[in-house]
Amino acid sequence: MAEQKPRVLILGGMGFIGRNALAFLVEKNLTSFLRVADKQVASTAYLAPRYQAALQSPGVNFVQANLAREDGVKKAFTHADGEFDYVFNCAGITKNGQDDDVYKDNILQISVLCAAEAAKRNVKKYVELSTAHVYAADKNASTEKGKTDPWTRIAHFKLLAEEKIAAIPGLQYNILRPAIVYGPGDVQGLMPRLIIGAVYKHLGETMKLLWTAKLRLNTVHVTDVVAAMWHVATTAPGGIVFNLADSADTTQGSVTDMISTLFGIKSDYHGQILSNLARLNMKDAVEDANEKHVVPWSEICTATGVTSTPLSPYIDQELLYNNSLCVDGTAICATGFKYSKPGPTLEDLKECVAQYVDMKLFPPGMTVA
């Protein structure tokens, strides 16, 4: 008799990584039953047709639940046919620049409540999505044993959640710390930089960025993130943290060069001296930059009939300091995992934009490559 496929729960399944995990599991026919739980409903989540089809597939069930509340967590975990084998926690707020109380409720509390419920129900493996921003900003690649010194508030609360999860008795877990995640459905990763490229195409100006081309912005494709989630759930020993980062050692320069080609624009850098002067009054500098980008973006959208979109060129102050995100993502390979994407390509960025253009969420006619 063939072994029964596992029952899987994706928490935060309407988000960027969650929706890609949903599609991955459905398209590869890996589960006997798959539940997606999220506070947001599909009708407001800007789902591409691929994700809509996955959500409507046989054996897939959606539950609306506030995972920051105990009753919401119980609702997500409870099913008449039995317990879940694997639980993937992709839930939690991803927007920077919020108050700590927001992150406490919508990152730390969600993770702790969900992990505790998983332990209570003897889930075979609970996989927590954290972030590589927990590491100290360094030009040398951080391994899983590297110094932690979170430089965003999201990362601060993600690290607190990791510590709480590790202390839950009886919980079989793995924690994944991805670098900047990009790919179809991206909103907060590389997408703001792509949108800024479109803005400078509209303005007819050179796109000038803080710091230098050498600033490391290491990356990992969402396809590899969701494949790694499944891999550690089914293969890796419990209680281990794994970084996720491709081998490209992506930099601000390599991303900017592709964006310049994609939109047919020129780019340059302010360099260390001018950037350090801006750093002395970073709040005003960031406000000026965002105002320069947000207003034209709104104008472009209005002119091209994009009436509602989750996309924005806004970049929070936390992400504009001279902080390298440099991550060693090779440890997971020792468990048999293989990355399918060695690093971002021009075609990858075109795919991200094209999906949103097709959905009428990104102005058409902006790209030239």
| 143 — pLDDT class (breaks 50, 70, 90) | very high
**Residue 85 DSSP SS3:** coil
**Residue 11 DSSP SS3:** strand
The residue that leads in pLDDT, 285 or 87, is 87
d(CA 120, CA 136): 34
Model pTM greater than 0.85?
Answer: yes
- DSSP code for 311: -
- Is residue 364 left, alpha or beta, with left meaning phi > 0 and alpha meaning psi from -120 to 50? beta
Q: Per the structure block, which two tokens stand in for 266?
A: 């020129």
Q: Could you tell me if 209 and 256 are in contact, meaning their C-beta atoms sit under 8 angstroms apart? A: yes
Looking at the DSSP bridge assignments, the partners of residue 89 are 11, 128
Q: ∠3-54-359 over CA atoms, to 5°?
A: 160
Instruction: Name the pairing type of β-strands 180-182 and 240-244.
Output: unpaired
pLDDT digits (tens, 9 = 90+) for 259-315: 999 999 999 998 777 787 777 778 888 888 899 999 999 999 999 999 999 999 998
Q: Could you tell me if 216 and 325 are in contact, meaning their C-beta atoms sit under 8 angstroms apart? A: yes
